[in-house]
Structure 1
Amino acid sequence: MKSRNIALFIITSGLAAIMSACSTGKSEEANTGKEASAIPVVEVISPLADQPPYPLSLPGELKPFEQVDVFAKAKGFVKKLYVDRGSRVKKGQLLAVLEAPEISQQYLSVQSSERKLYENYLYSRQAYQRLKKAASKNGAVAEIELDRARAQLRSDSAAYHSAKASTGASAQLKDYLRITAPFSGTIVSRNVSVGALVGENNSTPLFTIAQQERLRLTVSIPEKHGHSVTRNTLATFTVSNRPGKTHKASLSRNSGLLDQESRSIAVEFDVDNRNQTLAGGEYAQVKLMLKRPDSTLWLPASSVVQAQSGVFILKVENGLVERIPVALGIRKKEMQEVFGDLTTEDKILKSGTEELEEGAAVQIKK
């Protein structure tokens, strides 16, 4: 009887051990499954190298192709005005005449002096030529007489040419009393009346003239778009006084210099305005179609994380997350241009999130 109880105890203990072992195995398998499910599964995408055209809207300003204030070079009184605001003028056209008696008197004086000195020069030249001819005969004229005549001729010649230069300067000053148009255009302002004293210390211009048959459309291109502007860049623009009407212009000038204050580059487009439908001074809403000079990298906008710590994308390397700081370029629909330490071979999370820390383990979705 005792031996039967011992055998029963052994069998019972064995069954308990087997059941315990089975229970332990199932528990370990469950833990392993939980650990595997804790690693997030992510979808990745590689950056796309592309060079797409893109639109850029900017404000611009229309300016006359040429504009200048016309001042009097000589001091005098306005004697006559031939144009007024709005007058169309041609280059060299007479705009006004000034009156300055002292200038006219000075011109007459130097002109009279020039004539007198010219007569002296002619007399000295004739006298020298006669003596020179006579000196060709031995002993007819003393050498000292010929030298004296030659010196007198040189003196009178110098005096005459000096007077001639003075007459020219005085004539130029007298010509300053005639105010002419420096180029063809429109008188946009007249600031004086007949009888007004102008010139020298008077800083008020007589007229302002502008060339509006052709206009300059000036636009400031932000720094990050500066290299996208080429000689073939075209502009379409609208102005507020002609809603719905679109105008076109081609690039004519690019300063190529980055303004240190605005961080922009000034460019100009020439606008044909022979029909005078546009006015200088108007503001315009300009649309440019630009293109990067080289291919750049693009990602879905959802890949970019903008956090307080900065802007970055999440790169997966050997199953671990790496945060790559990036700078943003242009955005086209759902795609974002990015600049940073990445290539077209990298694996980037398609949907970036701030919750994934640097070094976090992830599984790439198959």
Structure 2
Amino acid sequence: MKIRYIIYTLLVLLVGYLLYNKFFGEGASKKEGAGGAKGSRKGGPVPVNVLLAHDTTLNTVIDITGTISANEQVNLVAQASGDVTGIYFNEGSRVKKGQLLVKIYNQDLQASLAQNNYNVTLARENENRNRQLFEKEAISKQEYQTSLASYNALKAQSDAINAQIKRTEVRAPFSGTIGLRNISPGGYISPQTPIATLVNIDPAKLTFSVPEKYLSLVKVGNKVKFTTESASKTYNATVYAIEPSVDVNSRTITVRARAANPDNELTAGSFAKISLALNQIPKTFMVPTQSVIPDIKTNYVFVVDSGMSVQREVKTGLRTDTQIEITEGLKNGDSVIVSGIIQLRQKAPVKVQKVVKK
């Protein structure tokens, strides 16, 4: 039994010796020395790729989404209450501005107008007769003015009845396509009763939002290309209006463009994929996004100068998905470092491995 304990003790000591020798012995020292030799090479030049700065023309095109809306759209309602005596349009048809669409019962008003017009005729004859008598000084001025006032009052009453009659007619406020009707002949309608929707979608309006950073480039007259889910062709539009304020929640500005739609291919409410071409910037520098290092108050890049990395403070402008515009701080021919940036420091030796192209 004691021999067994002795054997176990010897095995534990042997394992301990092997572990000590592995981590703290001569072999470990050699590995550490090799590692130290390898680490010493970190003091050498940092291999980098560079981009030669040169003037370029920036064509700013952004891809966004928008919504197609009608040029004009209105929900038709009556201005008077009563029974529908006539419907003069077909659902989904084209109508012209001023066309009679719906008529409401107005026979009582027509009768009142006829009676009043008869009184107007009599009052006009009476006024004419009294004017002649007044000119001959056969009646007083007061008598003539009384007959004139009576005549004018009856004319005004006829105008009021005519206005009421017009309110019993629903006419198209503009030319367009009328939708599905919600009334029937003989039904009773009021100003709260929806009749149908009238839409004019030629030209169509395209409404979309542009990020605030592009605000200076969005102008009236900018060209827009867009597609819809219902058609494979590309449509053209032109910006005609820009919202004067930025949305504080989305930090975007709303823009509206017009697109010709003579064949009614575009439908109000449709989703649109938009490609907006902004103004060109003729001479500028563009560098990869990763080469610009943001600081608390500014931005900077590293350039190669006499085999060393040198920090250069820059001012930035527009951004694309992969590049940033440099508006100040670079000149033609500067070698902008675009790789290995995390290992760089001021005046660190570098070795250019490759000159990359944009």
TM-score, scaled relative to structure 2: 0.71
1:126 matched to 2:112? The reply is no
Cα distance between partner residues in 2 of 1:194 and 1:325: 74
Cα distance between partner residues in 1 of 2:298 and 2:183: 61
1:94 maps to: 100
Cα distance between partner residues in 2 of 1:249 and 1:36: 57
Query: Any gaps of 5 or more consecutive residues in structure 1?
Result: 1-33, 132-145
1:362 to 335, 348, 352: 348
- The Cα offsets for residues 21-75 of structure 1, whole Å up to 9 and x where unpaired, read as xxxxxxxxxxxxx899467576766755543213321112222222112221223
1:169 maps to: 160
Query: Any gaps of 5 or more consecutive residues in structure 2?
Result: 1-39, 353-358
Are 2:314 and 2:329, in contact at CA under 8 Å, matched by a contact in 1? Answer: no
- The Cα offsets for residues 176-234 of structure 1, whole Å up to 9 and x where unpaired, read as 222111222111232222233334xx333322111134322222222222333345532
1:238 matched to 2:227? The reply is yes
1:289 to 277, 281, 298: 277
Cα distance between partner residues in 2 of 1:324 and 1:110: 88
1:223 to 183, 192, 212: 212
Residue 82 of structure 1 and its aligned partner are, at CA, apart by 1.5
Q: Aligned ranges for residues 272-311 of structure 1 at < 5 Å?
A: 272-292=260-280, 295-305=283-293
Partner SS, residue 190 of structure 1: coil
Residue 235 of structure 1 and its aligned partner are, at CA, apart by 2.4
1:114 to 117, 120, 123: 120
1:247 maps to: 234
Amino acid at match of 1:208: T
1:268 to 256, 267, 275: 256
Cα distance between partner residues in 2 of 1:344 and 1:167: 82
Cα distance between partner residues in 2 of 1:186 and 1:363: 73
The change in CA–CA distance for 1:344 and 1:188 in structure 2 (over 3 A counts) is: farther
Cα distance between partner residues in 1 of 2:140 and 2:219: 72
Equivalenced residues, count? 309
> Larger Cα Rg: Structure 1 or Structure 2?
1
1:154 to 135, 145, 170: 145
Cα distance between partner residues in 2 of 1:48 and 1:256: 36
The change in CA–CA distance for 1:339 and 1:111 in structure 2 (over 3 A counts) is: farther
The change in CA–CA distance for 1:292 and 1:156 in structure 2 (over 3 A counts) is: same
339-348 vs 265-274, which moves further:
339-348
1:62 matched to 2:68? The reply is yes
Are 1:238 and 1:286, in contact at CA under 8 Å, matched by a contact in 2? Answer: yes
1:204 to 193, 198, 201: 193
The change in CA–CA distance for 1:149 and 1:230 in structure 2 (over 3 A counts) is: same
Partner SS, residue 214 of structure 2: helix
Amino acid at match of 2:348: V
- The Cα offsets for residues 111-168 of structure 1, whole Å up to 9 and x where unpaired, read as 344233223212211211333xxxxxxxxxxxxxx6x522222232233223212211
1:257 matched to 2:244? The reply is yes
Amino acid at match of 2:134: Y
The change in CA–CA distance for 1:62 and 1:278 in structure 2 (over 3 A counts) is: same
2:175 to 174, 184, 192: 184
Residue 240 of structure 1 and its aligned partner are, at CA, apart by 1.4
Cα distance between partner residues in 2 of 1:82 and 1:107: 24
Are 1:124 and 1:153, in contact at CA under 8 Å, matched by a contact in 2? Answer: yes
The change in CA–CA distance for 1:172 and 1:194 in structure 2 (over 3 A counts) is: same
* Cα-Cα RMSD: 3.6
Partner SS, residue 78 of structure 2: coil
Are 2:304 and 2:336, in contact at CA under 8 Å, matched by a contact in 1? Answer: no
Cα distance between partner residues in 1 of 2:184 and 2:297: 65
Cα distance between partner residues in 2 of 1:240 and 1:108: 58
Amino acid at match of 1:79: T
Are 2:302 and 2:336, in contact at CA under 8 Å, matched by a contact in 1? Answer: yes
The change in CA–CA distance for 1:213 and 1:256 in structure 2 (over 3 A counts) is: closer
Partner SS, residue 107 of structure 1: helix
Cα distance between partner residues in 2 of 1:270 and 1:153: 61
Partner SS, residue 179 of structure 2: strand
Are 1:234 and 1:248, in contact at CA under 8 Å, matched by a contact in 2? Answer: no
Residue 348 of structure 1 and its aligned partner are, at CA, apart by 4.6
Amino acid at match of 2:291: S
TM-score, scaled relative to structure 1: 0.70
Amino acid at match of 2:168: L
Cα distance between partner residues in 2 of 1:323 and 1:98: 79
